[in-house]
Amino acid sequence: MADSVVLAYSGGLDTSVLVGWLMDEGYEVHCLYVDLGQPCEDRDAILQKALDIGAASSIAVDVQEELCRDFAFPVLQWQAKYENIYLLGTSIARPLISKVCLQRAREVGAVAFVHGATGKGNDQCRFQLAAEALDPSVKIIAPWRMDSFRNRFPGRTEMLDYCDAKNIPVKATASKPYSSDENCLHISYEAGDLEDPTVDGETVIDFGMSVSPQEAPDAEEQVTIGFEAGVPVSVNGSKLSAAGIVAELNKIGGRNGVGRIDIIENRFVGMKSRGVYEAPGMTCLYAAHQSLEQLTLDRDLVHLRDRMSPEVAEMVYYGFWYCAKMDALMAFIREAQQPVTGEVTLTLYKGNIRISSRTSPNSLYDEAIASMEAGGDYNQDDAEGFLRIMGLPLRVQGSVRPRTY
């Protein structure tokens, strides 16, 4: 009897080829489509395709709620952005995919977990680091890191030829070979024509979640987002599940052209790569969440969080989700976010987001203190002593080392 393996299966070019290749290698293949809310995919057709190729089983597991609630929203609370711009939509999903695949491997008695991440990318790191943290004895088959696989498929052209010979339908074509990765948080686009950084991504990509700002309505649209302890809980007054909130904001933000970026990023493995991303819902959430924090969090706490946030983003991007350091950081952010409750109204217009209103029962903003008018618990006379004390080290230094001016 052939050994069984579980393949993290998307139905795209790479994993479609892998179903056939693994069978050629003598494995019984169990395909697992991890349903992350991919907005542009026909799940039934994808699952049937694996069976048509010859997979022993092909099932989907819906983890959209877990993805948003337990992965994306904690990263949102950190305001974590890789290299100050990327909202980590693909990175966030990978440890969850590994977790679900290992669960499926137990069910079918699989000897290995297989993924189709290339040997040049970040996903191989994220899949493997998560899997090994959850099951230190796990066997991982990564075909792109095997000479036998690369010799047979040195590039996408050979993979497309293989699919053509085996009548395997795939979205990628030789004339339009860019790769996309979808989930409810975002869609990423890379490879193909996008490997030339002089090519304008808007001219070659069929975006799936958003219209271009030029095609967005000529009128502003407002949306109000409610939070409890830093967690999004409602849109326009309606309580929704975590996945429901993201889905609704994807629609609202998407039709207003919000959330597209085009970046050159530094991969964990050391090279630079070009990626185009669209994340309309999460872009709205980041803007609203930051605005509410400005109203409710202490200055020193926010500044501490902001110093640590790039490190959290880096850990998520690299794949260090299941580790003691991340556990501790998540405990910190849960406590720090307790006051972040309230509502924020965003005004969206042709790709832009404006904060129009914010309110919270925990607001630290005191109009009487902040006002330029007289009143409130602030006496300008106190600033005299405050500044004399703050300036003491500077006066001492200036007396010892006079500066030229």
Among candidate residues 94, 104, 260, 305, the one labeled active-site is: 94
Neighbours of 14 (CB within 10 A): 21
Among candidate residues 35, 58, 98, 123, the one labeled active-site is: 123
Among candidate residues 58, 179, 309, 360, the one labeled active-site is: 179
Indicate where the chain has its CATH 3.40.50.620 domain(s).
4-182
Please determine, for residue 174, whether its predicted confidence score (pLDDT) is greater than 60. Answer: no
Instruction: Please name the fold of domain 4-182.
Output: Rossmann fold (3.40.50)
Section 319-344 average pLDDT: 98
8 A C-beta contact, residue 288 and residue 213: no
CA distances from 305 to 84, 231, 400 (A): 14, 16, 36
- Alpha carbon distance 95, 323 (integer Å): 11
Q: Is 91 annotated among the ligand-binding residues?
A: yes
Q: Which helix (H) or strand (E) holds 151?
A: helix 147-152
Q: State what percent of residues in the chain have pLDDT above 70.
A: 98
Q: Is 265 annotated among the ligand-binding residues?
A: yes
pTM of the model: 0.94
- C-alpha R_g of the chain: 25
Q: Is 10 annotated among the ligand-binding residues?
A: yes
Q: Is position 179 annotated as part of the catalytic site? A: yes
Indicate where the chain has its CATH 3.90.1260.10 domain(s).
187-359
Instruction: Kindly report the backbone phi and psi dihedral angles of residue 78, in degrees, each rounded to the nearest multiple of 5, phi listed first.
Output: -80, -10
Kindly report the three-state secondary structure assignment for every residue of 7-20: EECCCCHHHHHHHH
Please determine, for residue 173, whether its predicted confidence score (pLDDT) is greater than 80. Answer: no
The per-residue pLDDT for range 23-37, each reduced to its tens digit, is 999 999 999 999 999
Second CATH level (architecture) for the domain 187-359: Alpha-Beta Complex (3.90)
Q: Is position 123 annotated as part of the catalytic site? A: yes
Q: Is 118 annotated among the ligand-binding residues?
A: yes
CA distances from 183 to 35, 217, 229 (A): 8, 25, 25
Q: Is position 381 annotated as part of the catalytic site? A: no
The per-residue pLDDT for range 360-387, each reduced to its tens digit, is 999 999 888 877 776 677 888 899 999 9
Specify burial of residue 87 (Cβ count, 10 A radius: 0-12, 13-18, 19+).
buried
Q: Is 157 annotated among the ligand-binding residues?
A: no
Q: Is position 267 annotated as part of the catalytic site? A: no
Specify burial of residue 372 (Cβ count, 10 A radius: 0-12, 13-18, 19+).
exposed
